[in-house]
Amino acid sequence: MRILDIQAIEDIAIGAAVMGTGGGGDPYVGKLMAIQAIEEFGPIKLLDADEIPEDALVVPTAMMGAPTVLVEKVPNGEEVIGSFDALKEYLGKKVFATMPIEAGGVNSMIPLALAARLGLPVIDSDGMGRAFPELQMVTFHLHNVSATPMMLSDEKGNSLLLNTINNVWTERLARNATVEMGGSVMLAIYPMSGRQVKESGIHGIITLTEKIGRAIREAKEHHQEPISTVLSVVGGFELFRGKVVSISRKTDGGFVRGESKFEGVEQYKGHTLTLNFQNENLVAQTETEILATAPDLIAVLDQETALPITTEGLRYGARGVVIGIPCNDQWRTAKGIATAGPRYFGYDLDYIPVEERIKRNGKGGRE
């Protein structure tokens, strides 16, 4: 057990934007919620998964919706409490702790804001080790944990309790309701026993995102070259450096889909990189090579500061370094690849781990 203070929240928010791989929503809004909650209610207890009793009830919390909308509709902390309390009451059991379903983006912060307000501990685990656009894209799902009973609520006071036959139906019905309710809602989802969290979670992930954020902050303070610092913390690879020459985005069916193009600089001069995204970056490719695909992480960092740039934050002419980070091994199983690999997202590509692609392509990718 350790305590998360405001500096920790600041660092986690930066790290979470890296893990957000372009999507997941800008953690800034969530960070403000979490910091305000800590200032009002005191710091947050962070527990390791192995500190949870086997039969304790853990209820993850999250926001659902297209990041564009998340940015426009600033939530108040009460919303999270609404769906959380409603599910708790429905389950009729004491809740031991909350946790994120995704460590990337704004959903890294929602459980922290809730935990501070309710004086609940947060588990240092998630179900992605990154951000993903759909509710079944969690390692809990790979271990056959049901997303339901799940509570979904909007800021107007409408709420839905879902019980579904599988997690794909949960995604389908919840996505639909989210669009109808105005584009973003609060979730209490994947209620789990301590044992299930231990078996199916990705552990130490909040600590890792904090390390990333701290490394970026300290690199600036100590005038170090920040990109390589980040790469060494995450075990990632540089894929490309370039200037943004085009961005196209479309919010549609509760997702933001599109692509951004980078014109190479330095050793990448003469090449163009395209990033395809559905909320998160899914495929990074040049005119000749696939450099990385989901479920591996593809992030864009500011070349000077290594601060992550979300898809929403990309501006024409911005200079970015595109990096690839190997995903958690749970995503590299057959079910993991079927759930969140390139073919699920409609790309006719086999999943090849980013580190192998780097070797094959035989260039770029200095670690």
Contact residues: its own copies, CB under 8 A: 86, 90, 156-165, 169, 172-173, 176-177, 180-181
Closer of 154 and 210 to its own copies (Cβ): 154
For residue 85, the one-letter residue type is: D
CB of 175 to its own copies, least distance (A): 9
CB of 165 to its own copies, least distance (A): 4
Q: Which of 28, 29, 44 is nearest to 116 (CA)?
A: 44
Closer of 159 and 305 to its own copies (Cβ): 159
Closer of 34 and 147 to its own copies (Cβ): 147
CA dihedral 103, 106, 111, 114 (to 10 degrees): 170
CB of 343 to its own copies, least distance (A): 24
CB of 69 to its own copies, least distance (A): 17
Q: How far is CA 131 from CA 10, 45, 226, in A?
A: 18, 23, 23
CB of 157 to its own copies, least distance (A): 4
Closer of 158 and 267 to its own copies (Cβ): 158
Closer of 86 and 352 to its own copies (Cβ): 86
Q: Which of 190, 202, 195, 21 is nearest to 128 (CA)?
A: 202
Burial of 172 (0-12, 13-18, 19+ CB in 10 A): middle
- DSSP labels for 3-33? EE-HHHHHHHHHHHHHHTTT-S--HHHHHHH
For residue 182, the one-letter residue type is: G
CB of 173 to its own copies, least distance (A): 6
Closer of 171 and 355 to its own copies (Cβ): 171
Spatial contact of 129 and 201, defined as CB atoms under 8 Å apart: no
Q: How far is CA 244 from the centre of its chain?
A: 23
Q: How far is CA 203 from the centre of its chain?
A: 14
